[in-house]
Amino acid sequence: MTPGRIIFLNGTSSSGKSSIARELLDILDDGVFFHMAVDGFNAMRSKRELGAEELDAALRRTRMGFHRSIAAMAEVGNDVVVDHVLSEPWRLLDCLTVLRPEDVLFVKVHCPLDELARRELARGDRPPGLAAHQYDRVHSHGDYDLECDTGTASPRECAERIKEFLPRRPGPTAFTRLHRRFLTAGPGHVGEAPRATLT
């Protein structure tokens, strides 16, 4: 069975990932794609009030389950559009551990801070300043296959660019490079220090 392709959109809250994902599902015509969003998994959780420590543990388990659900969908041949916020370093490491690096097209979804603040205010369903808090964290690993700026391009334009790039993405992929950098370098190699930083 041929594994499915994974289009992995990473960016801050309100950066436009979900809008791009919806456009991708509308225009991708060479497979059956599923949009898997971390917010959707968070919404599955029971509404019982949790203390800070219990909530942190539940959120970590949720994200680990999300990553493994992506892997399971792709493993049996489904194509997946992932909508995620890699604002904690361990999340990237976990994704690098469970996803096949060669199957992932890693897309940076960027948006200027002032536009993020405007979108947060307009949405009204996000804590003010959330995107600003995530801004320097989500892209700190610094390696992607493709970048989209939703401050200058519409979600449809970003999706069209991703669709055009998908069949001709070069190797090794960004996930392959990051896997080598953080998970497979031995002692004394370039991956050793970053691996310690990201645990």
Query: Is the bond into 172 cis (omega within 30 degrees of 0)?
Result: yes
pLDDT one-digit tens code per residue, 83-137:
999 999 999 999 999 999 999 999 999 999 999 999 988 887 778 889 999 999 9
> Euclidean distance between the first and final Cα of the chain, in Å?
33
Q: Read off the tokens for 35.
A: 């949009």
**Predicted pLDDT of residue 185:** 63
Q: Read off the tokens for 115.
A: 């536009």
DSSP H helices in the chain? 17-27, 38-43, 52-75, 89-98, 113-123, 130-135, 155-165, 174-179, 192-198
